Structure 1
Amino acid sequence: MAGAVHPRTIKKSVLPEAIRPFFSTDGDNILVSGLYADSSNNLAREAAYRLFLFPDQQQEQLLSELLKSRHELATTCGFKTYAHRALKASTVETPEMVNEFLQTLNEELKPRAERDFALMQKMKNAENRFESPLATWDTPYFTSTLKKRCLQASASEFSPYFSLGACMEGLNLLMNSLYGISLENTEMEPGESWSHDIYKLAVTHESEGLLGHIYCDLFERPGKPNQDCHFTIQGGKVMPDGSYQNPIVVVMLNLSQPRWSGPTLLTPSMVDNLFHEMGHAMHSMLARTEYQHVTGTRSENDFENRRLRRL
C-alpha cells in the first residue's frame, strides 16, 4: 500500500542519546527507515520496532477503505466474504480449509518453536545482564545470530560468488539449457528508458526467434517503489492478421548500485528474489496465449506460482 514503507521522522530528542548513532539523521530529525533487526543493540531494535510500526492514521484509513471495498465487491458477486471470493479457484478453496491447515501447522510446529524461543532467551540473557524477556524485536536478530553460529558462516561470505553479472549469466545458461532461449542485452532508443541504469533484454528462441523483451530495473534510486516485482507493459496476444504481439515486461528490484571498487554483490536471499521475478518474466515470454488478458502471470495465483517454483 502506498506510503506503508516510508521512513518515520522524529526529533532527535525523542531517542536516548546512546542509540541515536544507529539511525540516519536529517538535521535535527532522525529517520527510522526499517526495523533494524540486525542491530546488536537491544534498545535500538526496540526503538526502531516501536517507531517504524507505530499506527499511522492515514494508513489505517486507507486500509479500512480497502477492506470495506473488498467486502462490498465480494458480497455484490454473491460471496460471503472477500476471502471466499479470493480462494474460490485456489487449491485450498475455502477460508475454513485455510484455517484448518494453519491450525494443524500451529500444533505441529509449536513444540519446536518453543525450543527455539527458549534457546534465544538464553542467548539474550547472556548478552543482557538485566535478563529481560525475549521480545518481538529480538527474534530476527537472534535467529540470524544462531544461524551464523550453527553454519559457521554469514550470508555476506557467499556474496562474492553472486555478482549480478554472474547471476544474469547463470540465468541465461539455465534458460538456454531448458528452453533453447538466450537473453541478449540490447540498446534502447532515445527516450525509451525511464532511468539511465535500466537494461533491456531481448528474449530469443533458437528456432522461433524473438519472443519478447524484459526491462531490468534492478537498482535502487530515490522515489522508486521499495518492492521487488514483475509487471506487464504489453501482454502477448494473437493479432487479427494472425501475427503475434510479443510481450513486454519489467522486472523491478532494489539492489545497491555497483561501485568503482567492484560489481553489485547479492546475498542468497537476493539471488532467490532475482530468480523468482525472472521466473515470472519468463512465464510471460513463454505463454504465447491467444488473448492478452490471460497471458503470462494473468492467471490463477496457484497455477502461476506452481509453474514458477518448478522453474
Structure 2
Amino acid sequence: MAATQFVVNGLLVGALFAGIAVGFALIWGVVDIINLAHGEMVMLGGYTSYWTLTLITGNAEGSPLLFLATIPVAIGAMFVVGYALQRVLVSRVIGTDIFLTLLVTFGASIAIQQLALQAWSANPRAIQVSFANPSLTIAGIVVPKMKLVAFVGAIVLTAALYLFLQRTRTGRAIRAVSQNPEAAALVGIDVERTRAITFGVSSAIAGGIGAFVATILNIQPQMGLIYTLKSFVIVVFGGVGSIPGALVGGLLLGSVEELVAGFISTRWTLAVSFSLLIVLLVVKPKGLFGEGVSE
C-alpha cells in the first residue's frame, strides 16, 4: 500500500514536471538552444500568482476559484517576459557557438535570480488554498485536493499547448520553423517572430505551472535551477521534440523520485534520476519517443 501511495504522489507531482519540460522541449526543438533560464520562468510564474492573490485578498490565501483566477495573469506575464527575453537577448546569439547560447541563458538565469532576491528576499513563500476538506481517500490512498487540482491544471496546460501547435496557424508556423527554418522563411514565415512567440509560449506554460507549484511547495528566488535540470532529464528521457515523451517522462520521473524519497531518502532522488538517464541513453539513445538527441 505504501508503494501505491508513493506512486500516486509521484504521478500528481510528475504532471507538473512534465508541463515544465514540455516548454523546455519546445524551445530546444524550435530555437535550437538549451534554455538554462527556463526554471526561472517557473519561479516568476509562482511569484506572479502569489502577489496577484495577495493583491486580491490582502494575503496569499484564498478559495480555489480565486487562485485559479491568478493563472491567466501568470501565463500572460510570463509570455511577455519570454518574448522580450528572446527578442532582446537570445536572438543575438542564435546560430553561434552552442557554448555562447548556454552562457547567455545561464547569465539571464543568474540575473533574474538576483533581481528576484532584491525584490522579494530569500524567504520561502507559498500560496494557501482553502478547502473544506483538504484531501480525498480513495481505496485507502490519500489524495490531497490541491495536488489533484495541480495535476489536472498541468495536464490541461500541456494539452492546450499540443492543440495550439497542431490546430492553429501560429502553431503550424512554429512546427515549420522547428523542422526547417530556411524553408519556412521561403514560404513567408517570419522566423525571428515565430521564435520569439515560441519563447513566449514556452515561458507562459512554465509560468502557469509555477503558479500550481506555489500551492504545493514553497517558492523562493533560487528554485529555478532544479526545474531546469529536471526538464533536461525529462526531455532527453522522453525524446527531444516529443510532447507525449515529455509527458510520460515527467510522470515517470515523479514516480521514481517519490519511491526513492519514500523508501530510501530525499537526498538520493537526483542521483537516481540522472543514473536512470545515463542507463536509458546507453540502451535507447533516442529516448522513449524522440528522433534522437544528436539531431
Normalized against structure 1, the TM-score is what?
0.22
Q: Quick check: which one's strand share is greater?
A: 1
Q: Which structure: larger Rg?
A: 1
